[in-house]
């Protein structure tokens, strides 16, 4: 009574977490097929006591699959997802290729799970930072209507890929030997960054993804607004994000200022957030209790804390949320969405 599942991008960071989550959740898998770039084809990955050989993305290979969990780049998704659908599979896509397509539901199970039913072969999952932020915003939105959001993020590097993590760790090792430079007394001598626009070891920078020529917002920042609107079904919601990369491996954090339709006390906000599935309130700062990315890494729940009145915004609240960008920010959400579509959950 299981399903024939394909995992595309199986060797990447999100692909690996996808395999771990399929196990953790006892996902009913009758047959597992793994796909990756031609470079990885032929390698074998452990599964269910045996091994599965990785296949290259090639036409004709998707026949017979019920579901594809797709973790490719956006450009590869544009090319291959339609062929997977044509071959008869439902595709739960983690890329940004179809998120804003009006014919594709953009789904977060706890928020707009019903939307998944209207799929025409593809269901999309949000951007990793959007997923964390929208899980904190949704309970407030349901209770009191979110009108406006200002977000400053603290984004980890694992979503960029394994190479990016390796680059952070290698340059951190090199920087540790240059204490004068870390103190600002000399120039840091690090190799030119490849995965990042600037060296990230002991640094932060206000760029995630890229800026189109002349644009004052990064593509990451644009996604935050458009995807949050679509998921919350709030076309007029104004959201401005400042997306900042920080030297963290797993776990995205967002500092959120929220304007609501009606006044809501911090106590009520804690209550509605705590009652919402998939979110946990950690909020007792004088006891050092608040979310951190290290606490959020490796767990499914989004953590929310530092909840207080915002004195600048109308009916304003301020909060700080952390989530695992590989789980709820990517693989977990795509699997939860697939479970909905397949009627598993």
Catalytic residues: 128, 252
**Among the listed residues 92, 96, 125, 158, the single contact to a copy of itself using CB under 8 A:** 158
What would the x/- binding string for a copy of itself be over residues 311 to 340, using CB under 8 A? xxx----x-x---x-xx-------------
Burial class (CB in 10 A: 0-12, 13-18, 19+), 155: buried
Min dist CB 170 to a copy of itself, Å, is 9
- Report the site for a copy of itself in 236-255 (rule: CB under 8 A): 238, 240, 242, 244, 246-251, 253, 255
What totals of helices (H) and strands (E) does the chain contain, helices first?
10, 13
Q: Is 81 or 140 the residue whose CB approaches a copy of itself more closely?
A: 140
- Report the site for a copy of itself in 256-285 (rule: CB under 8 A): 257, 259, 266, 285
**How far, in Å, CA of 176 to CA of 157, rounded?**
19
> Hey, which residues does 150 pair with through a beta bridge?
240, 257
Min dist CB 255 to a copy of itself, Å, is 4
**DSSP string over 309-343:** EESSSTTEEEEEEEE-TTIIIIIHHHHHHHHHHHT
What would the x/- binding string for a copy of itself be over residues 185 to 224, using CB under 8 A? xx-x--------xxx--xxxxxx--xxxxxxxxx------
Min dist CB 16 to a copy of itself, Å, is 9
Min dist CB 280 to a copy of itself, Å, is 16
User: How many residues form the binding site for a copy of itself (CB under 8 A)?
Assistant: 76
Q: Is 126 in the site for a copy of itself (CB under 8 A)?
A: no
Of the candidate spans 46-54, 119-127, 181-189, 228-236, the one that interacts with a copy of itself by CB under 8 A turns out to be 181-189
Q: Is 159 in the site for a copy of itself (CB under 8 A)?
A: no
| Secondary structure (3-state) at 146 | strand
**How far, in Å, CA of 190 to CA of 100, rounded?**
39
Min dist CB 293 to a copy of itself, Å, is 6
Of the candidate spans 32-40, 180-188, 226-234, 268-276, the one that interacts with a copy of itself by CB under 8 A turns out to be 180-188
Q: Is 262 or 288 the residue whose CB approaches a copy of itself more closely?
A: 288
| Secondary structure (3-state) at 150 | strand
Biggest alpha carbon–alpha carbon distance for the chain: 65
- Report the site for a copy of itself in 44-73 (rule: CB under 8 A): none
**How far, in Å, CA of 106 to CA of 99, rounded?**
6
Q: Is 76 in the site for a copy of itself (CB under 8 A)?
A: no
**How far, in Å, CA of 333 to CA of 21, rounded?**
10
User: How many other CB atoms are found less than 10 A from the CB of residue 343?
Assistant: 7
Min dist CB 64 to a copy of itself, Å, is 32
What would the x/- binding string for a copy of itself be over residues 286 to 315, using CB under 8 A? x-x-xxxxx--xx------xxxx-xxxx--
Q: Is 112 or 255 the residue whose CB approaches a copy of itself more closely?
A: 255
The token pair at 71 is: 């973790």
Whole-number Cα distances in Å, 317 to 50, 137, 144, 314: 51, 11, 11, 9
**DSSP string over 253-269:** EEEEEEEESS---HHHH
The token pair at 97 is: 């290729």
């Amino acid at each position: 009574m299981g399903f024939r599942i394909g995992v595309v991008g199986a060797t990447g960071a999100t692909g690996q977490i996808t395999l771990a989550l399929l196990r953790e959740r006892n996902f009913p898998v009758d047959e597992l097929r793994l796909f990756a770039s031609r470079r990885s084809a032929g390698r074998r990955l452990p599964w269910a006591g045996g091994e599965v050989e990785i296949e290259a993305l090639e036409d004709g290979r998707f026949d017979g699959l019920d579901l594809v969990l797709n973790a490719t780049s956006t450009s590869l998704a544009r090319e291959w997802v339609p062929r997977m659908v044509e071959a008869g599979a439902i595709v739960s896509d983690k890329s940004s290729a179809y998120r804003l397509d009006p014919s594709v539901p953009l789904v977060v199970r706890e928020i707009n799970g019903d939307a998944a039913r209207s799929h025409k072969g593809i269901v999309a999952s949000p951007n990793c930072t959007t997923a964390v932020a929208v899980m904190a915003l949704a309970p407030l939105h349901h209770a009191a209507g979110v009108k406006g959001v200002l977000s400053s993020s603290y984004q980890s590097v694992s979503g960029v890929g394994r190479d990016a993590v390796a680059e952070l760790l290698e340059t951190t090792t090199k920087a540790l030997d240059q204490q004068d430079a870390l103190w600002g007394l000399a120039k840091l001598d690090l190799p030119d960054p490849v995965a990042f626009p600037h060296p990230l070891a002991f640094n932060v920078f206000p760029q995630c993804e890229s800026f189109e020529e002349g644009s004052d917002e990064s593509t990451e920042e644009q996604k935050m607004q458009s995807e949050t609107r679509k998921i919350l079904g709030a076309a007029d919601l104004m959201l401005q994000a400042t997306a900042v990369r920080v030297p963290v491996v797993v776990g995205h954090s967002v500092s959120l200022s929220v304007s609501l339709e009606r006044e809501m006390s911090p106590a009520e906000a804690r209550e509605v957030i705590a009652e919402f599935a998939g979110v946990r309130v950690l909020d007792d700062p004088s006891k050092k209790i608040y979310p951190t990315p290290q606490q959020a890494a490796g767990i499914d729940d989004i953590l929310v804390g530092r909840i207080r009145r915002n004195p600048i915004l109308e009916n304003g609240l301020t909060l700080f949320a952390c989530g695992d960008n590989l789980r709820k920010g990517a693989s977990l959400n795509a699997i939860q969405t697939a479970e909905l579509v397949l009627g598993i959950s």
